[in-house]
Structure 1
Amino acid sequence: MAMKTWWLYVTAVFLIAATPGPNMLHVMVQSIQQGARRTTASMAGLMTANLTCLIASAAGLGALLKASPMLFEVLRYVGVGYLVWLGIKAWRAPVSSGDGAIEPHARRSIRALYLTGLGTGLSNPKLILFATALLPQFIDTGRPFGTQLAILTGSFMVIELFWFSVYALGGRSLSHWLAPANRKLLFNRVSGTLFFGFGAALLGSKV
C-alpha cells in the first residue's frame, strides 16, 4: 500500500468516525447514564464489533453479501430491528417528575454493557457499509495482504478509540446540563429519534 493511499484512508476514516452515528451516540448515552469509567466496557464491545466486521470483510464477507442479496437483506433487517429497539428504549427511559432530578439509572453489569455495545456496533449501518464497500478499495492486490490488513485495521481502531473517548468525555460534561428532568426527557426523545433514523438509513442502504 502506497503512503498516499494510507493517508487517504486515514483521512476518510477520521471524518467518517467523527460523524455522529449509532456507535458515538451509544458511547455518549452510556457515559451519561453509567459514568465515563464504566463506559469503557461499552467501548470494548463496540471495538470488538469493529474488529469483527473488518476481519469478516477481509475474509470475503463483502463479496458474499453482494453475491447473496437474501443474506444481506436478512442481516440488514436484523440490524434495523436492533436500532429501533434502542430507539424505543431511549424514548421509554424514565425520568423523575417533581423535584427536577434525574431518576437514577440502574447500575448495569460490565458484561451487559459490553454485550449492548457489541450489538450496537454489529448493527451500525456506517460500519457495515464501510467494511463491505469501502475497506476493500484500499487493498493493493499486488502487495502482501496480511500486512495491509493489519495496517488498515489498526489505523481504524486507533481513530475509533480516539472518537469514542471524545464522545465519552462529552457525555460526562453533558450529564450536568441534563440534571433537570425536562432536559433529560428531551435528550431521551432526541436520542431515541436518532436511533430510529439510523435504522431507517440502514433499511434504505444499498451496498
Structure 2
Amino acid sequence: MTLHVWSLYVVAVFLISATPGPNMLHVMSQSIHFGPRRALATMCGLMSAVLLCLVASALGLGALFKAAPRLFDLLRYAGVAYLIYLGIRAWRARISTDDEGPGSPRSGWTLFGTGLLTGLSNPKLIVFAAALFPQFIDPQRAFAPQLAILVGSFVVIESFWYAVYAFGGMRLAAWLRPVARQRLFNRLTGALFVGFGGALLGSRA
C-alpha cells in the first residue's frame, strides 16, 4: 500500500465517519441520556463492531457474501429489524422533567451490547467493509502490516468523530430540557433509525 493509496483511504474514512449515521446518532443520543462518560461503553461496543467488520472483510467475508447472497440477506434483515426496533424505542423514549437528572443508569455491558448490535447493523459500515475496504489492500504486499495500518487509521478517525458527537450531545442536552424539545428529538431520532433500516433493506451484497 502506497502513501497515495493510504491518503485516499484516510480522506474517504474521514468523510464517511463524519456523515451522520446509526453509529454517530447512537453515540449522541446515549451521551444526551446518560452523559459522555457513560457513553464510553457504547463507543467501545460500536468500535468492536467496526473491528469485526473490517477484519472479516479483509479475510474474505465480502467475497463470501457475493458467493452466498442469501447469507447476506439473512444478516441484512436482522440488521433492518434491529434498527427499526431502535427507532421505535427512541420514538417512545421516556420524557424527563426539568428537575430530573440523566436517565436511569444502565450497566456498562448493556450499553456495550447495544452499541455492538447497532454497529453490526450499520448500513454504512456493512457497505464500506464489504465493497470498499478490500480495494485498499494490495495483494502484492504483506497483508498483516496493511491491515494494521488501515484498521488503526479507521479506529483513530472513528474515535475522533465519536468524541465530537458525544460532546455535541452533552451540549445539546441542556437545550433539550423542555419537554416539547425532548419529544421532538425522540421523534426525529426514531425516524432516522427507521430510515437507516430502510437504507439497509435496500442495500445489496
Q: TM-score, normalised by structure 1?
A: 0.96
Shift of 1:105: 1.8
Instruction: Measure the CA separation in 2 of the matches of 1:17 and 1:102.
Output: 33
Instruction: Measure the CA separation in 1 of the matches of 2:98 and 2:184.
Output: 13
Shift of 1:53: 0.5
How many residue pairs were aligned?
Answer: 205
Shift of 1:104: 5.1
Residue 105 of structure 2: SS of its match in structure 1? coil
Equivalent in the alignment of 2:57:
57
Instruction: Measure the CA separation in 1 of the matches of 2:156 and 2:56.
Output: 19
Shift of 1:102: 6.2
Instruction: Give me the identity figure in percent.
Output: 63
* 1:194 aligned residue (158, 168, 192): 192
1:53 maps to a residue whose letter is C
1:147 maps to a residue whose letter is P
The answer to whether the Cα contact below 8 Å between 1:90 and 1:192 also exists between their aligned partners in 2 is yes
The answer to whether the Cα contact below 8 Å between 1:95 and 1:102 also exists between their aligned partners in 2 is no
User: Is residue 4 from structure 1 mapped to residue 16 from structure 2 by the alignment?
Assistant: no
Instruction: Measure the CA separation in 1 of the matches of 2:94 and 2:151.
Output: 39
Shift of 1:101: 5.6
Pick closer, same or farther for the CA change 1:128–1:194 going to 2, 3 Å.
same
User: Is residue 149 from structure 1 mapped to residue 147 from structure 2 by the alignment?
Assistant: yes
Q: TM-score, normalised by structure 2?
A: 0.97
RMSD: 1.2
* 2:137 aligned residue (127, 131, 139): 139
Residue 106 of structure 2: SS of its match in structure 1? coil
Equivalent in the alignment of 1:107:
105
1:118 maps to a residue whose letter is L
Unaligned runs of 5+ in 1: none
Instruction: Measure the CA separation in 1 of the matches of 2:80 and 2:123.
Output: 9
The 5 Å alignment of 1:1-207 reads 1-96=1-96, 105-207=103-205
Instruction: Measure the CA separation in 2 of the matches of 1:84 and 1:158.
Output: 29
Residue 140 of structure 1: SS of its match in structure 2? coil
Residues 99-147 of structure 1: per-residue CA shift (max 9 Å, x gap): 6566852111111011000010011010011101000111111111111
The answer to whether the Cα contact below 8 Å between 1:21 and 1:126 also exists between their aligned partners in 2 is yes
Residues 55-97 of structure 1: per-residue CA shift (max 9 Å, x gap): 111111110001101000000000000000000000111215x
The answer to whether the Cα contact below 8 Å between 2:35 and 2:102 also exists between their aligned partners in 1 is no
Residue 141 of structure 2: SS of its match in structure 1? coil
